[in-house]
Amino acid sequence: MNRPTLAVWKFTSCDGCQLTLLDCEDELLAVAEAVEIRHFPEATRKDLPGPFDVSLVEGSISTPREVERIKRIREESGLLVAIGACATSGGIQALRNFADLREFQRIVYPHPEFLASLEHVTPIATHVDVDYELRGCPIDKRQLVGLLSALLKGRRPDLPKGSVCND
Ligand code: SF4
């Protein structure tokens, strides 16, 4: 029998939420046996094509290329789960939404003209439909394991109110 396919994606983020998934140790081993992991940059160099039954998405959207990429991932994913404060609300990098982006770029980079940044940093749900959201910086390990176990059993995960996006 084919195992469900899982992909973990990184956008603008610090990788901390992916590390939470790696930190699940025993639980992750059980998950790894139950699913076929097709993409998970912190854990494997494997980069297999979709479709993906479940996509976990870390990070916010801050470049035009990321907009195109998240749309492609949405098309290829059965369920899409935004994990962490970056993915669900923009995260710390969204603080630049309240400042002058051009000024920051000019101070930090010798050639800011080569940068392709969006004017504002936005959460995943600004660009595509999101099925579930796990909040926190980083996400809570037990919530993540609970969500994955429920999804793999075809059950609706028991999450705090507001975490289910397509009610
Ligand atoms: Fe890192 Fe926090 Fe963003 Fe997760 S939510 S990727 S821990 S900054």
Q: How far is the CA of 141 from the centre of ligand 1 (A)?
A: 13
Which residue is associated with the tokens 């940059």? 41
Q: How far is the CA of 31 from the centre of ligand 1 (A)?
A: 22
Structure pTM? 0.91
Where are any strands of DSSP class E within the chain?
5-10, 36-39, 52-58, 77-83, 132-134
Chain CA centroid to CA 19, Å: 12
Residue nearest (by alpha carbon) to ligand 1 atom 3: 86
pLDDT in tens, 23-67: 876 777 677 778 888 999 888 888 899 899 999 999 999 999 999
Where helices occur in 1-140 by DSSP H, the ranges are 16-22, 25-34, 64-76, 85-89, 101-108
Residue 84 CA, closest ligand 1 atom number: 5
ipTM of the complex: 0.99
Cβ neighbour number for residue 92 with a 10 Å cutoff: 13
Q: Is 5-94+120-152 assigned to CATH 3.40.50.700?
A: yes
pLDDT of residue 26: 74
Q: Does 93 have pLDDT greater than 70?
A: yes
